[in-house]
């Protein structure tokens, strides 16, 4: 059984659960499959671990993960007004809390990236100053605890150390940016699901 067939079968087994909760559960398990695939697990291995869609639905219905109730009828009291109020509240939350946090996180990522570039540039300058006869030795001076260092090998090794630190710093910033982008897109998908009524 493929992932899509498993999720469709699970959706069928959850037909007595409200549509919003069913969409939320299916979204969570779709993300679970995606994370497992990124971790190198095979689809059939994940399906075996989850059990049959019927068993999984029974566990979900019996747990507190969802509130067990029949799907709402179209005649429920003023669902459009409630949905509109929820969307307005979500927009307020996004504007007042999420947007400043996003701006601060983006600023931090840019500052980290700038720091990595400065360290890399310093490493390149030190390496260049260690080359004899290229005119850089008068441009860059290495001074440790008041003692000028003029040995080209020491300057070159210091430059290599700066390059390694800058590279690792840049890799960390790159990983952090990917993680932040992934979490941001997850939140955007939540907003879209919420606006469409999928919560």
Among the listed residues 27, 77, 34, 80, the one whose alpha carbon sits nearest the alpha carbon of residue 195: 80
Low-confidence ranges of the chain (pLDDT < 70): 62-80, 133-149, 197-199
145-171: pLDDT as tens digits:
666 667 778 778 888 999 999 999 999
Which pLDDT score is estimated for 145? 64
Which pLDDT score is estimated for 76? 43
CA pair distance 61, 69, nearest whole angstrom? 9
Report how far apart the first and last C-alpha atoms of the chain are (Å, whole number). Answer: 28
List 143's β-bridge partners, or say none.
148
Cα Rg, the chain, nearest whole Å? 28
Contacts of 12 (CB under 8 A, 6+ apart): 53
Which pLDDT score is estimated for 35? 86
Which pLDDT score is estimated for 120? 94
Which pLDDT score is estimated for 157? 87
Which pLDDT score is estimated for 147? 63
């Amino acid at each position: 059984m493929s992932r899509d067939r498993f999720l469709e079968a699970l959706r069928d087994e959850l037909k007595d659960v409200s549509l919003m909760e069913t969409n939320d559960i299916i979204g969570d398990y779709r993300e679970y499959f995606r994370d497992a695939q990124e971790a190198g697990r095979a689809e059939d291995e994940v399906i075996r671990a989850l059990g049959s869609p019927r068993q999984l639905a029974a566990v979900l219905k019996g747990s507190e993960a969802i509130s067990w109730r029949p799907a709402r009828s179209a005649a429920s009291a003023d669902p459009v007004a409630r949905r509109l109020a929820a969307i307005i509240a979500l927009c307020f939350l996004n504007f007042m809390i999420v947007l400043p946090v996003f701006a601060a996180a983006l600023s931090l990522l840019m500052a980290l990236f700038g720091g990595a570039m400065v360290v890399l540039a310093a490493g390149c300058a030190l390496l260049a100053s260690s080359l004899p006869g290229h005119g850089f030795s008068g441009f860059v001076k290495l001074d440790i605890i008041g003692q000028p260092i003029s040995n080209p090998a020491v300057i070159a090794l210091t430059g290599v150390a700066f390059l390694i630190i800058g590279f690792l710093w840049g890799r960390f910033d790159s990983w952090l940016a990917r993680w932040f982008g992934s979490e941001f897109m997850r939140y955007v998908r939540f907003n879209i699901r919420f606006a469409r009524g999928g919560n």
